[in-house]
Structure 1
Amino acid sequence: MWQESSNLTNAFGDLSIGSIWQETPDCSESSLVSQLQTTLDLQQQLDIFSMSAGRVLPLCGMTLNTHSSNLQARGSKKGAYHHQSKLVLENQVLAEISYDSAHAFTPLVQRQLLLLESEWLFALRNALLVSRLQQMALKDPLTTLGNRRFFDDSFVKSVQLAKRHQLPLTLLLLDLDNFKQVNDNSGHYVGDEVLIAVADCMRESLRATDSLFRFGGDEFAVLLSDSDAEHADVVADRLLQSIYTNAFLASHNVGCSIGMARLSAEHQPRDLFHAADEALYQAKLSGKGRVSQYNGGRIKLLEKAAHSLLAAS
C-alpha cells in the first residue's frame, strides 16, 4: 500500500549541505560515481549530486530538466546567481541542469561543477532509460494518456493524500456516446482516430496538472484536485463542450457522457469510484451528452451542461 513520503532534510543553504536524507543511500564515504550507481531513481540521483555540488559552492537550488520531467533537488529555491549546463554523453543531450546560489559562479566554480557533471553522465543515462521504460508501461500507447494500471495507482494515492490533508478531490468518468457505431460503420482505424481526438480535447480543455487516463475501450477518467476539484462541474462542462464542438468528432456523431463524484470523509477509493460510475450510468440513461453528479447518495443531473448534439442510439 502506498504511503506518502516523510519530510526530508534540506540539502541547501545553512541546512546541512552534506546531510544524507533517509531515501538516499548512505554512501558519504564513497565516490560520487559510487553513490550515483546505488540508485536508478532520478530524484535520488539529483539529491545525491546536489550534495556534492554544494561542496563546490553553497547552493540554494538545483533543477534537472529532461525531455519528460522537471525535477528539483530537495529544498530548492531561487538564488541571486544562476548557472545552467547541458549534460551531454556521446553527442546526446541527456538533460539540462540549473543551479541557484547566493554566490557568483566564477569560471573556477563552473569548471569544478563540469567535472562533477561528467561523473554523473553514465548513471544519469541509465536512470533516464529506466524512467522512460516505466513511463511507457504506464501509458496508453494509442492516446498517450495514463493507462488503467497508472490510474489505479494514482487514484489510491490521490484519495489517501486528500483525506490526510483534508484536500478536495473529484473523479470524472467519461464514456463516449455512439462510439460503437463508428467502429461498426467506419472501421477500427477511424475509431482509433476518434479516441485520439478525445484525448486531445481532454488535454486542451484541462490543466496540465490534471491526471488524465484511458481505461481501455472508450472509457476515460480525470482526477481533479485543488481548485479544479471545487469547481468540478465547470471543468466537466468545459470538457463536454470541447468534445461536442470538435469538428472531427461531430462529423462522426460522437460525444460523451460524464459521471462525477466528490471525495467525502467516509469515502474509500472503491466508494468514490462506485459513486462516479453510478453517476455515469445515470447520465447515459438520461439521454447521453450529459454530466451527472453523485451527491450524498443522490444522482443529480447537471442540466446546464452542453445540449446533446447526438441522436439517441
Structure 2
Amino acid sequence: MSLCLLSEISLPDAPSYAAVATDEYWRAPHVQQHQSLLGQLQSTLDLREQLQIFSMAAGNILPLAGVHLQTAIGDFGAAGSSEASHQHRSLLMLKEQCLAKLHYYSEQPFTPLICTRLQALEVEWLYSLRNALVVTRLQQMALKDTLTGLGNRRFFDDSLSKAIQLANRNNSHCAILLLDLDNFKQVNDLYGHAAGDEVLIAVAEAMHSTLRSTDSLFRFGGDEFAVVLSDDDVASSELIARRLVKAIQRQHSCQQHQVTASIGIAHWQKDQQPEALFSAADKALYLAKEAGKNRVRQA
C-alpha cells in the first residue's frame, strides 16, 4: 500500500487532550516481550486493536487507568479508560512527522525510568501505527461525501441500522430527519455548479453548527441530506429540525440564492425496519414540500 497519504494524517500541531479506563483492562496475563509486541502489532491494521495491544504492553511497565491516542483523523481511547491522578504525554514522531499524541493515566507516578521504558515501546509501534492510520484514513474517505465532508449514503445506511439495533437492544429510541433544499435546482441552472457547490457547503456548515455529533450528518448526493438522532435527542427532534431550517436560511449563500430547506421527521417504532423508517420520513418530507417549502413535518 502506498504511504503517500501520510501527509494527510500528520499532526503538525497537536492540541492537548484528555483521555478516558478500569484497572482490569490493563492486567495482562503475562509480560510482553519486544519481539512479541512487534509481532502482535503487525498482525492487524485495525487502529483500535493496535491501541489495545499497545496499552496492555504498557500496563506491564506501570499499572494504568487509561491510554488515549489523539490523531488528525480522530481520537481513540483504549477500552475501559478513565482519568487518574498522574498523567504522562508523549508525541509519536516518525521521520520528522507527528503521527499522534499518547496520553497515559495512572494512580502511580511516571518516573524517568518508567517514561524511558514507555518510549521504547512507542518506538516499536511507530511503523505499524503509521500503516493503521493510512488504512483508517482510506476507510473514512470511502464513507464521506467528498464535497461537504458529511457521511455518504453508504455510511447513512450503516449508521441507521446500528442506531436501530441499539434502540432495539436498549429499549430506547432513534429518529431520522430527511432534508431537501428548496429552489436549489435553479441555482445550478442559472449560476452554474460552482455556485451550487457553495450552497451545499454552506448547508453542511449550518448542520455542523446546529448538531453536536458530526457522525450523524449525511449527504446522499444532489441536495438531499439526512440526520440520525440517538435516544437523547429524539424527544427534541422537531425543535432540532426547526433550528436546522433557520440555520440554513441564515447562511449567506442560501440567502443570496433564496435557498431554504424542507424537513421530514420519522421516529422509529418497535420492530420497524430501516427501509420503513426511511419511507416514513420521506413521506413527511413530501408533506413539508406540499405545505409551501421551508417547513417541518412529522410522519
1:66 aligns with 2:77: no
Query: Does the 8 A contact of 2:72 with 2:100 survive in 1?
Result: yes
Which is worse superposed, 233-242 or 222-231?
222-231
> What's the secondary structure of 1:56's corresponding residue?
coil
Write the distance in 2 (CA, Å) between the matches of 1:19 and 1:98: 23
Measured at CA, do residues 141 and 19 of structure 1 come closer, stay the same or move farther in structure 2, by a change above 3 Å? farther
Query: Could you tell me which residue of structure 2 aligns to residue 283 of structure 1?
Result: 288
> What's the secondary structure of 2:23's corresponding residue?
coil
Counterpart amino acid of residue 31 in structure 1: S
Q: Post-superposition shift, 1:30? A: 5.7
Give the number of the structure with larger relative contact order, counting CA–CA contacts within 8 Å between residues 6 or more apart.
2
Measured at CA, do residues 198 and 209 of structure 1 come closer, stay the same or move farther in structure 2, by a change above 3 Å? closer
Counterpart amino acid of residue 100 in structure 2: A
Query: Could you tell me which residue of structure 1 aligns to residue 190 of structure 2?
Result: 185
Q: Give the superposed CA RMSD.
A: 1.7
Q: Which of 171, 176, 183 is the matching residue for 2:181? A: 176
Query: Could you tell me which residue of structure 1 aligns to residue 28 of structure 2?
Result: 18
Query: Could you tell me which residue of structure 2 aligns to residue 300 of structure 1?
Result: none
Counterpart amino acid of residue 246 in structure 2: Q
Measured at CA, do residues 36 and 203 of structure 1 come closer, stay the same or move farther in structure 2, by a change above 3 Å? same
> 1:20-53: CA deviations, max 9, x gaps?
9xxxxxx999611100011111110000000100
Write the distance in 2 (CA, Å) between the matches of 1:194 and 1:137: 23
After TM superposition, list the pairs within 5 Å mapping 1:118-267 onto structure 2: 118-208=123-213, 211-267=216-272
Write the distance in 2 (CA, Å) between the matches of 1:116 and 1:28: 10
Write the distance in 1 (CA, Å) between the matches of 2:271 and 2:291: 28
Write the distance in 2 (CA, Å) between the matches of 1:28 and 1:216: 50
> What's the secondary structure of 1:31's corresponding residue?
helix
Measured at CA, do residues 184 and 209 of structure 1 come closer, stay the same or move farther in structure 2, by a change above 3 Å? closer
Query: Does the 8 A contact of 2:151 with 2:215 survive in 1?
Result: no
Measured at CA, do residues 223 and 28 of structure 1 come closer, stay the same or move farther in structure 2, by a change above 3 Å? farther
Identity among equivalent positions (%) equals 54
Q: Which of 31, 35, 38 is the matching residue for 2:36? A: 31
Query: Does the 8 A contact of 2:160 with 2:228 survive in 1?
Result: yes
Measured at CA, do residues 19 and 171 of structure 1 come closer, stay the same or move farther in structure 2, by a change above 3 Å? farther
> What's the secondary structure of 2:140's corresponding residue?
helix
Write the distance in 1 (CA, Å) between the matches of 2:290 and 2:240: 22
After TM superposition, list the pairs within 5 Å mapping 1:95-106 onto structure 2: 95-106=100-111
Counterpart amino acid of residue 79 in structure 1: A
Write the distance in 1 (CA, Å) between the matches of 2:125 and 2:34: 17
Query: Does the 8 A contact of 2:150 with 2:214 survive in 1?
Result: no
Query: Does the 8 A contact of 1:178 with 1:253 survive in 2?
Result: yes
Query: Could you tell me which residue of structure 2 aligns to residue 86 of structure 1?
Result: 91
Query: Could you tell me which residue of structure 2 aligns to residue 51 of structure 1?
Result: 56
Q: Post-superposition shift, 1:208? A: 2.7
Q: How many residues align?
A: 278
Write the distance in 1 (CA, Å) between the matches of 2:40 and 2:231: 37
Query: Does the 8 A contact of 1:210 with 1:225 survive in 2?
Result: no
Write the distance in 2 (CA, Å) between the matches of 1:28 and 1:91: 27
Q: Which residues of structure 2 form unaligned runs of 5+?
A: 1-20
Q: Post-superposition shift, 1:207? A: 0.9
Measured at CA, do residues 53 and 16 of structure 1 come closer, stay the same or move farther in structure 2, by a change above 3 Å? closer
- Output the TM-score relative to the length of structure 2: 0.89
Measured at CA, do residues 15 and 290 of structure 1 come closer, stay the same or move farther in structure 2, by a change above 3 Å? closer
Higher helix share: 2
Write the distance in 1 (CA, Å) between the matches of 2:215 and 2:134: 25
Task: After the TM superposition, list the runs of 4 or more consecutive aligned residues in structure 1 that deviate by more than 4 angstroms.
Answer: 27-30
Counterpart amino acid of residue 168 in structure 1: H
Query: Does the 8 A contact of 2:26 with 2:65 survive in 1?
Result: no
Q: Which residues of structure 1 form unaligned runs of 5+?
A: 1-10, 21-26, 295-313
Counterpart amino acid of residue 258 in structure 2: N
Query: Does the 8 A contact of 1:81 with 1:105 survive in 2?
Result: yes
